[in-house]
């Protein structure tokens, strides 16, 4: 039996499992508060820098939090751009907490000093994720801001002192991948208690970047990930953007000390939703604008979410949509082509992911 105990089960059991997995049940939402950002990251998939025209007002964002609560959402992440650029951030955190939602902030760390860390704690923030994409030189080359690496580490230290749980997210690309095995101790010393890895997508400023990994890089990445998994402290875990279905997927994907987790397919538009700073709704913010399902200024969030015709790439999934190596994969029934955002970014459509660690593992045998 494989690691999940599902994918090699009978077709009937697999079909029932798939029906449950594809039933909409919103649990997590990402809300992009603004595209304003003090950094100019060469790997930014959203071309962030200045605030977008006609971003949601503070009142509209508060209404959005209420609508997410009414849909049953249990967890919300505020991000950007740089969410600290929005003066309403603390108000939104307090409102989400009144709605009994878990609140996460994703930040570059720019502007997050000791005073802000204390305010985030007082507002009820459950956790903060600081983006760090390599050691000092590699990180600052990507950020375009001198001093941003040390400021990110200082933000982690400030959050730790304020007793706010803090983790790190790292984009894996040709600048950061060679440094991953040197980063762990630096992040641990700064005060990080979690570390997530995701790959850089060829979107936004990174659309034609030589930093973006391709299928030829997957064997080396898999070897690095397996060595990192042996770390006694702060072993990283994989985001949905990396994978899928290697023989040790559960070990690589699970948060150390947390519940075991294996890849069971993309949940965009099923358990997960993203809302842009201008009110556009997607199954995941990493998806291109071709996958906008509506706008909360034109229709209620409830109407968008409950429309059976939307988020069709997952809700109306058909095995015939798979192509390339995914079409003939033994794990296709539940994997469903890996991360949809990755598939769209690299191949222009869902259902095919050649940057697959399982594919690299099989080719190495």
* Per-residue pLDDT reduced to its tens digit, 56-66: 999 999 999 99
| pLDDT at 7 > cutoff 60 | no
| pLDDT at 247 > cutoff 60 | yes
Please tell me whether the overall predicted TM-score, pTM, comes out greater than 0.95 for this model.
no
Lowest-confidence pick of 6-15, 298-307, 356-365 = 6-15
| pLDDT at 9 > cutoff 60 | no
Average pLDDT for residues 52-77, to the nearest whole number? 98
Predicted confidence at residue 58, as pLDDT, reads 98
| pLDDT at 226 > cutoff 50 | yes
Average pLDDT for residues 317-324, to the nearest whole number? 95
Instruction: Please provide the average confidence, as pLDDT, over all residues in the chain.
Output: 94
Predicted confidence at residue 187, as pLDDT, reads 98
Answer whether 111's CB lies under 8 Å from 138's CB: no
Largest CA distance in the chain: 57
Q: How far apart are CA 338 and CA 353, in angstroms?
A: 6
| pLDDT at 176 > cutoff 90 | yes
| pLDDT at 2 > cutoff 50 | no
Predicted confidence at residue 255, as pLDDT, reads 86
Concatenated DSSP letters for 62-88? HHHHHHHHHTT--EEEEESS-GGG-TT
* Per-residue pLDDT reduced to its tens digit, 101-141: 999 999 999 999 999 999 999 999 999 999 999 999 999 99
Tell me whether the omega of the peptide bond preceding residue 244 falls within 30 degrees of 0, making it cis: yes
Instruction: List the one residue out of 31, 112, 46, 121 whose CA is nearest residue 79.
Output: 31
Answer whether 342's CB lies under 8 Å from 172's CB: no
Average pLDDT for residues 245-262, to the nearest whole number? 91
| pLDDT at 3 > cutoff 70 | no
β partners of residue 30:
77, 274
Compute the residue count for the chain.
Answer: 365
Q: How far apart are CA 13 and CA 11, in angstroms?
A: 6
Q: How far apart are CA 74 and CA 71, in angstroms?
A: 9
Record the tokens describing residue 335, joined without a space. Answer: 């994997």
Q: How far apart are CA 148 and CA 156, in angstroms?
A: 12
Using pLDDT thresholds of 50, 70 and 90, give the confidence band for residue 22: confident
Lowest-confidence pick of 3-7, 204-208, 286-290 = 3-7
Using pLDDT thresholds of 50, 70 and 90, give the confidence band for residue 11: low
Using pLDDT thresholds of 50, 70 and 90, give the confidence band for residue 257: confident
Q: How far is CA 106 from the centre of its chain?
A: 10
């Amino acid at each position: 039996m494989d690691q999940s105990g599902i994918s090699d089960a009978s077709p009937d059991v697999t079909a029932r499992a798939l029906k449950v997995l594809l039933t909409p049940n919103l649990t997590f939402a990402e809300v992009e508060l603004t595209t304003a950002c003090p950094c100019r990251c060469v790997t930014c998939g959203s071309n962030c820098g200045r605030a977008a025209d006609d971003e949601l007002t503070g009142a509209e964002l508060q209404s959005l939090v209420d609508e997410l609560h009414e849909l049953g959402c249990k967890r919300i992440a505020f991000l950007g751009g740089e969410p600290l650029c929005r003066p309403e951030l603390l108000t939104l955190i307090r409102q989400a907490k009144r709605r009994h939602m878990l609140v996460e902030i994703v930040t570059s760390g720019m502007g997050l000093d000791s005073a802000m860390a204390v305010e985030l704690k007082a507002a009820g923030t459950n956790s903060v994720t600081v983006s760090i994409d390599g050691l000092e030189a590699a990180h600052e080359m990507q950020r375009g801001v001198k001093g941003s690496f040390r400021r990110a580490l200082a933000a982690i230290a400030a959050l730790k002192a304020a007793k706010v749980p803090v983790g790190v997210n790292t984009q894996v690309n040709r600048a950061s991948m060679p440094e991953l095995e040197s980063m762990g101790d630096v992040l641990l010393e700064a005060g990080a208690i979690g570390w997530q890895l995701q790959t850089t997508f060829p979107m936004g400023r990174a659309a034609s970047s030589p930093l973006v990994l391709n299928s030829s890089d997957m064997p080396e990445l898999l070897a690095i990930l397996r060595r990192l998994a042996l770390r006694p402290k702060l072993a990283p875990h994989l985001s949905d953007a990396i994978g899928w279905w290697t023989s040790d997927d559960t070990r690589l994907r699970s948060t150390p000390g947390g519940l075991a987790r294996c890849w069971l397919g993309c949940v965009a538009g099923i358990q997960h939703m993203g809302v842009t700073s201008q009110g556009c709704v997607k199954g995941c913010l990493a998806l291109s604008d071709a996958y906008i399902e509506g706008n909360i200024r034109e229709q209620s969030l409830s109407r968008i979410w409950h429309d059976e015709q939307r988020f069709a790439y997952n809700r109306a999934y058909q095995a015939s949509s798979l192509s390339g190596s995914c079409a003939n994969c033994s794990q296709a029934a539940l994997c469903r082509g890996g991360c949809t955002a990755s598939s769209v970014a690299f191949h222009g459509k869902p259902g095919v992911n050649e940057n697959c660690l399982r594919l690299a593992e099989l080719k190495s045998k």
